[in-house]
Amino acid sequence: MDKLKIAILGMGYVGLTSGIAFSKHGFKSICTTTTRSKAVNLAKGIPPFYEPGVEELLKELVNVGMLSGSVNNVEAVDQSDVTFICVGTPSLPDGSADLSSIRDTARDIGIALKEKDSYHVVVAKSTIPPGTTEEIILPFVEKYSGKQVDRDFGLCMNPEFLRQGEAVHDSFNPDRIVIGQHDKRSGDVLEYIYRDYTCSKIRCDIKAAELIKYAANSLLATKISFANEFSRICEKFNIDVYEVMRGVGLDFRLNPRFLDAGCGFGGSCFPKDVSAIKTLAKNIEVETPILDAVLYTNEIQPLHLVEIVRDAVGSLKGKIIAVLGLSFKPNTDDIRATRALPIIKKLVEEGAKIRAYDPKAATNFKRLVDLPVEYCDTWEEGLRGADLAVVQSDWKEIRDIKAEDFKRLLKNPVVVDGRRTYDANLLKAQGVRYYGIGWKNKA
């Protein structure tokens, strides 16, 4: 098995970082895409998105011929022994997962396998509702290949848990590897691919593997919404929610991570995955009051940040507001479901003029969002002459802004911190009017 070659259908955050990790572990890999320019760039070592560490590794692996790009799924599958499906599964308007790329890739795998004699393992890595691997991918592959699962090809579901912004680290150091297997033989192939990983490996039913991913993301989103709900209770009592959650998180039955209150979660996973499983549950007549509340809290939290802005400076009409950070979190240029959007929308509705700064995500935001925003190349430019600053995404360079910078550049040194980026007491002691989510704003 040591010469296994891997096809990865999809070269997004998951596909490309998986390709990097597999090829670094000695498995020659091909990542595919439907966009020709992305494949051409990949051949030059240029990644299709910003993610720390990806560009350096990509260049290294492309140069030694361990990683390549293609727009031809059929050819990529044909030249490999194992295929990972890593295409996007975005939300449809009703909240359910759009599985059209899953169907397209399953069909392409079937077409490729028709002409292949050797055993091949098909692995679903995209986040997909329970039943998708066995009820969509499997019949598509069988139909287009004329072959039979278990006998001619293997089938697995191997959910991905990486975090954007830390994708390379997470691909090499996962907390666990979940292998949903149709039969033992296909699970053994995945176990072999991951043989150098020392973390726990769970082998389970395919549907369980599919649902583990949704359950994990739903629970993480629940922790965030829980902390956010408490942030609003804390503000009323003039209590610091971070102090409260520190005390909560030290309980051995809990975990202190993901209890950081802020202006809500975004990105391509939590909102879409919680919506998908909630919609699926509704369709099978299962009530989901917890998931409903998690999403509702996430909708009101960015608007609550605007309330804090209003409490801080009164009417927003004509006020110039510097919004720092547009990506859904630091270290990524991804703006999918970023909380910057509802925040800026509401601020504009209330008559504010927006200046926005983000180290990497401004181009994506500008392309996808039609709002009157002045984009700035530096945070200094954003702050200069503005009435106040609102922090939406705490990139390091935004975290490093000092009290003296706010005092020097802003008309009035007012900071509304949606991510609890700064040491509030320090900023206040140094003459900045500080307001934050879950902070003692009335003190």
Ligand X SMILES: NC(=O)c1ccc[n+]([C@@H]2O[C@H](COP(=O)([O-])OP(=O)(O)OC[C@H]3O[C@@H](n4cnc5c(N)ncnc54)[C@H](O)[C@@H]3O)[C@@H](O)[C@H]2O)c1
Catalytic residue list: 269
Q: Which stretch binds ligand X (CB under 6 A): 10-18, 189-197, 236-244, 312-320?
A: 10-18
Least Å distance, CB 38 to ligand X, is 6
Q: How far is CA 405 from CA 320, 340, 400, in A?
A: 17, 23, 10
Least Å distance, CB 248 to ligand X, is 26
3-class state of residue 263 by DSSP: coil
User: Which residues fall within 8 angstroms of residue 93, CB to CB, at 6 or more apart?
Assistant: none
3-class state of residue 156 by DSSP: strand
What letter represents residue 29's amino acid? Answer: S
162 makes contact with ligand X (CB under 6 A) = yes
Nearer residue to ligand X within complex by CB, 10 or 330: 10
330 makes contact with ligand X (CB under 6 A) = no
Least Å distance, CB 77 to ligand X, is 11
Least Å distance, CB 385 to ligand X, is 37
Give the strands of the sheet with 414-417, arranged side by side.
373-375, 353-357, 320-324, 388-391, 414-417, 433-436
In 3D, which of 394, 216, 218 has the Cα closest to residue 298? 218
Residue 52 neighbours by CB distance under 10 Å: 15
338 makes contact with ligand X (CB under 6 A) = no
Helix (H) or strand (E) run with residue 6 in it: strand 6-9
Least Å distance, CB 128 to ligand X, is 7
Give the footprint of ligand X on residues 214-273 (CB under 6 A).
268-269
33 makes contact with ligand X (CB under 6 A) = yes
Q: What's the rounded Cα separation, in Å, for the pair 146 and 418? A: 55
Nearer residue to ligand X within complex by CB, 220 or 308: 220
Helix (H) or strand (E) run with residue 210 in it: helix 206-237
Give the footprint of ligand X on residues 130-149 (CB under 6 A).
none
Nearer residue to ligand X within complex by CB, 34 or 430: 34
Least Å distance, CB 125 to ligand X, is 6
Q: What's the rounded Cα separation, in Å, for the pair 280 and 402? A: 47
37 makes contact with ligand X (CB under 6 A) = no
105 makes contact with ligand X (CB under 6 A) = yes
Nearer residue to ligand X within complex by CB, 101 or 181: 101
Q: Which stretch binds ligand X (CB under 6 A): 84-92, 135-143, 423-431, 433-441?
A: 84-92
Using CB under 6 A as the binding criterion, the count of chain residues that bind ligand X stands at: 26
Q: Are strands 388-391 and 414-417 parallel, antiparallel or unpaired?
A: parallel
Q: Which residues bind ligand X (CB under 6 A)?
A: 9-15, 32-35, 73, 86-89, 101, 104-105, 126-127, 160, 162, 164, 268-269
